[in-house]
Every structure is written in C-alpha cells, then in structure tokens.
Structure 1
Amino acid sequence: MVSGFTVIFIMVGIGYLLGRTRVLGESAHEVLSRLVFFVCTPALLFHSLVTSDLSVIFSKTLVIAGGSALTIGLAYVVVARLWLRRAIPELAIGGLSSSYVNSVNLGLPIAIFVLDDASFIAPLLLFQILIYSPMALITLDLTVTDPALGHASRKTTLRDAVIAPLTNPIVLGGVTGLIVSAVGRLPPTAVLEPMKMLGNASVPCALLAFGLSLTGAAIFKKGESPRRDIALASALKIVAMPALVYVVARFGFGETGHDLFAQVVIAALPTAQNVMVYATRYRRAQIMARDTALITTLGSIPAIAIIAVLLT
C-alpha cells in the first residue's frame, strides 16, 4: 500500500514541479491531457483487453464492483441535481468523481502488494472502460457546450447517440480490444508492441497532467472551488462506496475472509486521474475533478488502513 501511494505522490510531485518551472510551456497541462485521452489510454485499453483472460474478468467481482460503482454514481447525480441544481455535464463528471476507481496506477500496486492477486482489479477495470466511461463520455458528447460558439455543439438526436461512441477514442480502444480478445487470436507483435508502449505512457502522463493542474491552484478554495460538490463526491467515494461493497459482497454473495477484504479495499481506492483528463477534455467541472482526486487520494490511506484492521 505504501509503495503504491508513494509512486503516485512522486509522479504528481514531478508534474507539479514541471508546472512551477514552466519547462513544458503554458499549455502543457491541456496538451498532455489530450495526449492521454486521444492516444495513450485507448492504446492501454486495447492492449490490456487483448492480453486478458476474459473468464477471469467476467466474474461475480464484476457484478459487485460494477453495480456498486453505478449505484454510488447515480446517488451523486440524484443528490447533486436535487440539492445543488447542477447541469448535466457537471453531474456526469461528479458521478465519475464519486465512484470511478483508480484501478490502474494505484489499483494494480495495491492488488499486487496488499492483496497478492492482480485478478481482483481486472473485472473493475473492464467495467470502467467498457461500460462506465462510455456512458459518461457519451453523455458529455451530447450535452457539453462548445465554448467557442456559446451553444450546444451537438443536438441530442438519435443520430448523435449512435455516432458519439463511434468517434470517442477511449470507447473505440476498449471495444476493439474486447472484440479481438473474444476472437482468440493475438495481433502480430508489430501491432501489439506499439500499443503496449503507448499504453505504458498513459498512467504516468495522466499523473503528470494531474500534477500540472495543481500549479498555482488553491485546493478547496472558498469562492472558487465547488466545496459542496467536492465534499459530496469525496464522502461517497471514501465512505459510502466501501460500505456498500461490504454489504453487497458479504450478504448478497456470501463472501468472507480475503475475498471480502479485497472487494472492500478496491472500493476504497481514490478517484482516478482519468476523471480529470475527461473534465479537461470537455472543459467542465475541472476544479471539482482535480480537488476530489487529491482529497480521495489522501483520504484513501487511512480508509484502507481502517479496513485492514477491521477485516483482517
């Protein structure tokens, strides 16, 4: 656990220093975020799914983790809509912030070093990239406002609903990888290696972009940061989601011991930096995504420690 968190803090710190020194220029954060969104993450998803065992991925863990994430995300949307009166793009980013788990750059180290089994994280990774991300990204594609024109960039028609996922690089990478994996024939090495190289850059680039976004930023600043949104998303992510997963896994599926511990620990992982990348791409709720990711990263450390004391 310490190793996994240390990796994150070092990478984010390097990104912050790059931003402070302006080594990469004024637009580094946006350019790096676009690189992650359009190139590196699609390659990561494609390579991960092509080389995965689908029998391990399609398991009860997929139902527990995926169902709980959807429930928590929906809870945020309902509360934020009724209480805070937020627009749909902000609700989409907030829903992800409250339930989208950092399953790669922190989830994998935790699964390896704490749980001693990386297979626990694979079903959640599949759910997030093939179901959860597409749902949120399609919503953003159809509802976001074009800042240059000042009005909706697309009309929410049936045609748009069909075209939007077909033009989203992350959705395309995940779906293509799943199809190739289901066929059962690996692409040639000349194709897989470039995808692997680009995919390996996704996590560090996302962390660097996150660090760049912290430059000159006052976290949870009054009058600038949407405090109620951040507090709601953070509480749902660190407290409500692990509690829900415990109830579902323990009483719904009868899990005990190490399996139950693993499910709850994964649910307690912080918000993924991918949410910040999405927020930057669509230029909506960026401060919320940034602050929630940072607060949940810090909060997940004591949360996982408490879970370890209670369940082991």
Structure 2
Amino acid sequence: MSGVLEGFTVIFVVIALGYMLARLGVLGDHGQFVLSRLVFFVATPALLFVTMATSDLAVILSPTLAVAGVSALVVGSIYLLISKLMLKRATPEATIGGLASSYVNAANLGIPIAVYVLGDATFVAPLLLFQIMIYSPLALTILDISTMGKKASLRSILIAPFKNPIVLAGGLGLALSITGLELPEALMQPFELVAGTAVPGALLAFGLSLYGTRVLQKGISPRRDVALATGLKMILQPVLGYLLARLLGVEGHELFAITVVSALPTAQNVFVFASRYNRGVVMARDTAFVTTLLSIPAIALVTALLA
C-alpha cells in the first residue's frame, strides 16, 4: 500500500500546485489554455517520441498488450454507443467520454505504482505502447474529423492522422525502435529535456482548471456522463482485464499486475485532448478527478484479493 499512497501523493501535490498557481494568478487568465496547448503540441509528442524510440519491443509485446488493448477498446466502445444512442451526445463529446472511461493513467501514476507495488515498471510498458500507437491516434483522428464540420472531405479525412503531432511523434519513435537506429546524444537530449515537462505540465494544467469551479457542479457538469464513464473505468475495465488475462492463461503475479493496471484512473491526457478540441472539457476533468479518488480503494481491494 505504501507504493499506492506514494504514487497518488505525487499526483495530488502537483495538481494542488496548479490550483495554487491559478488562485494566485501567476500565469494570468489564459495560463491553463496555453499550458494545455504546450503539453499537447510540444511536450507530449516529445515524450512519445523518446518513449517509443527507446522501447524494447520484445519486452513490450506480451499478453498484457492484448489485454490492455482489447479491454480499453471494448470499454471505450461501450461508452461511445451508450453516449450516442441513449444520451444523444455529439461524436466529439462521446469520443472524449470513451477515452475518459478507458484511457489509463499509465505514465505519471502507473509507473510509480508498477515500481512500488508490482516491483517492475515494465508491467505498464505494453499499455503505454497501445495507448501511444493505437488508441491515441484512433481517438484523435476521430476528433479531428468530427470537428471539421462541413469542411471535411475525403482528402482531409485521409491526411488528418498525419497532421497530428502526437501521432507523428509516436510513429517516428516506433520507426527508430524497429530499425534499431539511434540518434546522436546531442539530438536526443533536447527531446528528453522537453519530454520531461509532459507529465507535470498535464497535471499542472489539470490543477489550473479546478480553480473557480466545483467538481460535479449541478448545471455545469454532465453528471450522467461522468457517472457512466466512472463506472465503466473503475468497475468494468478491471473486471474485464482480469477475465481476459485468465482466458489467456495468465496467472499469479502477472494476473495481479494486469488487474492493478486496469484499475488505474483516467489519465489527465484526456483532459488535455478535450481542452485542445474544446469539447467535453468539464466531463474529462470531473471523470479524471473522481476516478483518481476511487482508484485508491480499488487498487487496495485488488491488492487484498490477488497479491
């Protein structure tokens, strides 16, 4: 449990710092907007490029990758269908909600928990690979196309993924990893330096967004959407991850690790994506906040049952 508490403490302290920056007006009226765009267009692409370029694909390609991919896609698709058919949400909002219900906080929370609770950071590597190279590009492409409006054409739809900095950076990093090419240290260090701002930047932007608002505020927050995303994220995804792992014959500590990773909360990246497209921002913020709080007892329960 000490690892769980340590990981969450780090997150809450940085979020609180962002809140205080907003309260004191240090970054001005547009600080959250500018910081979110910096994280989306610069820091996150650098982080994905470095992560993919230095990844050992032999380690990453494991049963955890299949479980992470299938469970996230299934849960996200369930939310998308319910949101479109029953809640009558537009495609951009439904897409953000799908991410909020299934996009795991694998970096800034998953890594410390993997180290301190699971004993090995590589347990979150397959999930990072899936989210970086498959899930993010898929969701961002849908967001790009669905927010084009009448300007959408076959050409614009086809080139949309190649205009997104996150997709491009992840693809270039993966290409380096596959080919075995290594950039000179003098070229890699600037990317590594900028990449180091992605996680704290996303957390600070999230903290900035909390100032002057109340989570789940009546009339402002789409509570039904948040409740649906939270239930899918904190109940269905861990259960589905456990069942899929058992179906693949995974047992023991690896089964425990997969279930813990599936029980991680919504990533703050979803809030950054929502802010970039200005769609579903409150929903993404509130879901990330609620699932982060609920994941503490959720991971403790998984630990008690499977550790």
- Structure-1-length-normalised TM-score: 0.96
Per-residue Cα deviation, 1:110-137 (whole angstroms, up to 9, x for no partner): 1111101111101110110111011110
For the structure 1 residues 235 and 40, does the alpha-carbon distance in structure 2 shift closer, same or farther, using more than 3 Å as the test?
same
Per-residue Cα deviation, 1:229-267 (whole angstroms, up to 9, x for no partner): 0000001001110000111101x1111111000000000
**Counterpart residue identity of residue 75, structure 1:** I
Q: What runs of 5+ residues in structure 1 fail to find an aligned partner?
A: 146-151
Aligned to 2:280: 285
Would you say the 8 A contact 1:144–1:153 is kept in 2?
Answer: no
Aligned to 1:302: 297
2:79 equivalent to 1:79: no
1:305 CA drift (Å): 0.4
1:79 CA drift (Å): 1.1
Aligned to 1:233: 229
Paired residue secondary structure (1:223): coil
1:310 and 1:81 map into 2 onto residues whose CA distance is 36
Moved over 6 A (4+): none
Would you say the 8 A contact 2:63–2:245 is kept in 1?
Answer: no
Counterparts of 1:16-27 in structure 2 under 5 Å?
16-27=19-30
Aligned to 1:57: 60
**Counterpart residue identity of residue 181, structure 1:** S
Aligned to 2:127: 124
- Structure-2-length-normalised TM-score: 0.98
Aligned to 2:159: 163
Q: State which of 191, 214, 218 in structure 1 corresponds to 2:210.
A: 214
- CA-atom RMSD in angstroms: 0.9
2:203 equivalent to 1:200: no
Q: State which of 7, 12, 15 in structure 2 corresponds to 1:12.
A: 15
1:109 and 1:28 map into 2 onto residues whose CA distance is 28
1:158 CA drift (Å): 2.4
Per-residue Cα deviation, 1:66-97 (whole angstroms, up to 9, x for no partner): 11000000010111111101000001100000
1:136 and 1:124 map into 2 onto residues whose CA distance is 16
2:174 and 2:158 map into 1 onto residues whose CA distance is 19
2:40 equivalent to 1:37: yes
Aligned to 1:259: 254
Counterparts of 1:97-136 in structure 2 under 5 Å?
97-136=100-139
**Counterpart residue identity of residue 241, structure 2:** V
Paired residue secondary structure (2:118): coil
Paired residue secondary structure (1:84): coil
Paired residue secondary structure (2:51): helix
Q: State which of 131, 138, 143 in structure 2 corresponds to 1:140.
A: 143
1:83 and 1:75 map into 2 onto residues whose CA distance is 11
Per-residue Cα deviation, 1:144-181 (whole angstroms, up to 9, x for no partner): 16xxxxxx2631x3211221111100001100000011
| Residue correspondences, number | 304
User: Identity of aligned pairs, percent?
Assistant: 56
**More displaced, 288-297 or 184-193?**
184-193
Would you say the 8 A contact 2:242–2:255 is kept in 1?
Answer: yes
Would you say the 8 A contact 2:79–2:97 is kept in 1?
Answer: yes
